Amino acid sequence: MCGRYALGVTCPPADDPKRLAYIQQHLQDQGMQVDEAPDDDEVRETYNFAPGNFGVVYRADITDKGSYDHQQDADSEHQTKTSENEDNVSSNNKPEDSMAIKYKLQSMKWGLIPFWTKRQPDYGSMMRTINCRDDSLIEDSGMWTSMKRRKRCIVICQGFYEWLKKGPGGKEKVPHFVRRKDGELMCFAGLWDCSDEKLYTYTVITTSSNSYLKFLHDRMPVILDPMSEAMKKWLDPGRNTWSRELQSILKPYEGELECYPVPKEVGKVGNNSPNFIVPVDSKENKSNIANFFANAKTKGGSDPSPKKKTSPKMKMVKGEDSRLTKDSEWSEDNAPKPVPAVKREHSPKAPGFTEEVKKQKVNSDLTGLSPQRKKLRSATHNSPMKKSSGIKAEDGSLRITSFFKK
């Protein structure tokens, strides 16, 4: 966990219509430095954000190799300060850093691909790196080593989904949405990387669940508060050595959260609706059957007859996620797993497809015929025809099978 979250941020009509500009302003209002933001079309806006999509990541604006190299920076800084001292010998001003640190929002693909990967990983491999367990970072070795030292980031979202297993064998899965109680944007601790082809990818770090979410799942994302000391340390590009101090940041969230059931339609990645982050029993949820009857009673003055419960209105737009989903036993979450699309040799609309189907149908019909020829009556010898032995049922009527006998 997490295997699905919400990033359907919509700004008020009176504000800047750009969603990323709205997120940037929102974070800046919380004291976070945001010097750059991507365009809206670089990030998928959906209340049902699944692995493989491009999300919003907040990080220090440094090179693709990651945090600063102290030795190289020290040499560069020494040369810069030496030159400055020669030009400003009499200056009493305090020396300033040769390079001011900037922070930015960036579009990245969910599912980390390490830079040292020689070939493009398959879909299954990518799905295994959407999360990174905190305990896998304790030892200073393994696939996450370079990322945890030099490429730490924050993943921005509205909250995340988790599926509660119920019923015999846990076959029934009820989706729940988890968000901050104050309604602010949620910040996950994450790691990022970049390939030679400039493909930026990220993973969400998970830890043990806090007492509030134990009933739902035993794992949860590492959540950091904006401008907290923990977040500052996590994003500090000057820290390029993994330490106990950084490891201690990865712990269950101690702040207040809200968790409640949401519509089951969120299980399919192609569905998208604002109702997905609204409690199913809330007055704000238009799909709530209780609200339907209450509204009808107010308008008509009497209780209406029961009608079929309507599903949440889905927001389907061009380019929406069309992948299928299937239940899978994940190590980190119970979210239905998106599966890659399967390419067909012939599209139902492709030329020749209809003719091919018709030919197959005709051939199958012909193969079903009996190979025996029908006996013909002689034109010169009028032998009497055999009468059907129409076997009668007990009530005297012929059985239906007698009509098909030759």
Rounded (10°) CA dihedral 235, 241, 243, 248: 20
- Give a yes or no: residue 113 inside a domain: yes
User: How far is residue 315's CA from residue 107's CA, in Å, rounded to a whole number?
Assistant: 22
The H or E element that residue 160 is part of is strand 159-166
- Give a yes or no: residue 93 inside a domain: no
Which residues are within 8 A (CB) of 58 and not within 5 positions of it... i.e. 6 or more apart? Answer: 27, 32, 34, 103, 104, 105, 106, 153, 154, 155, 156, 187, 235
The pLDDT assigned to 186 comes to: 98
Cβ 261 vs Cβ 176: under 8 Å: yes
Task: Point out which residues pair with 261 in neighbouring strands.
Answer: 176
For the record, the structure tokens of 202 come out as: 């990220």
- Give a yes or no: residue 81 inside a domain: no
- Give a yes or no: residue 56 inside a domain: yes
User: How far is residue 350's CA from residue 403's CA, in Å, rounded to a whole number?
Assistant: 44
Q: Which domain holds residue 66?
A: 5-72+99-273+314-339
The pLDDT assigned to 340 comes to: 64
Kindly report the number of other CB atoms within 10 A of residue 354's CB atom: 11
Question: What three-state secondary structure class fits 327?
Answer: coil
pLDDT by 10s per residue, the chain, length 406: 689 999 998 665 545 557 899 999 999 999 999 999 999 999 999 999 999 999 999 999 999 988 765 544 444 444 444 444 444 433 343 334 446 899 999 999 999 999 998 888 888 888 999 999 999 999 988 999 999 999 999 999 999 999 999 988 888 999 999 999 999 999 999 999 999 899 999 999 999 999 999 999 999 999 999 999 999 999 999 999 999 999 999 999 999 999 999 999 999 999 999 999 999 987 666 655 444 444 445 555 545 444 444 444 444 444 455 656 555 544 455 666 666 655 544 444 444 444 444 455 545 554 544 455 555 555 545 555 555 455 555 555 555 444 444 4
Strand 103-110 relative to strand 200-208: parallel, antiparallel, unpaired?
parallel
- Give a yes or no: residue 245 inside a domain: yes
Which residues are within 8 A (CB) of 56 and not within 5 positions of it... i.e. 6 or more apart? Answer: 7, 20, 23, 38, 43, 105, 106, 107, 155, 156, 157
The pLDDT assigned to 193 comes to: 97
- Give a yes or no: residue 306 inside a domain: no
For the record, the structure tokens of 185 come out as: 């944007």
Which residue type sits at 98? Answer: S
The pLDDT assigned to 288 comes to: 54
What domain count does the chain have?
Answer: 1
- Give a yes or no: residue 234 inside a domain: yes
Convert the chain into a string of H (helix), E (strand) and C (coil): CCCCEEECCCCCCCCCCCHHHHHHHHHHHCCCCCCECCCHHHCCCEEEECCCCEEEEEEECCCCCCCCCHHHHHHHHHHHHHHHHHHCCCCCCCCCCCCCCCEEEEEEEECCCCCCCCCCCCHHHHHCCCEEEHHHHCCCCCCCHHHHHHCEEEEEECEEEEEEEECHHHCEEEEEEEEECCCCCEEEEEEEEECCCCCEEEEEEEEECCCCCCCCCCEEECECCCCCHHHHHHHCCCCCCCCHHHHHHCCCCCCCEEEEECCHHHHCCCCCCHHHHCCCCCCCCCCCHHHHHHHHHHHHCCCCCCCCCCCCCCCCCCCCCCCEEECCCCCCCCCCEEECCCCCCCCCCCCCHHHHHHHHHHHHHHHCCCCCCCCCCCCCCCCCCCCCCCCECCCCCECHHHHHCC
Nearest one of 46, 213, 190 to 130, comparing CA atoms: 190
The pLDDT assigned to 93 comes to: 39
The pLDDT assigned to 2 comes to: 80
The pLDDT assigned to 88 comes to: 45
The answer to whether the peptide bond before residue 2 is cis (omega within 30 degrees of 0) is: yes
pTM of the model: 0.70
Place of tokens 């989903």: 325
We report the CATH number of the domain holding residue 171 as: 3.90.1680.10
Residue 72 burial (CB < 10 Å; 0-12/13-18/19+)?
exposed
- Give a yes or no: residue 366 inside a domain: no
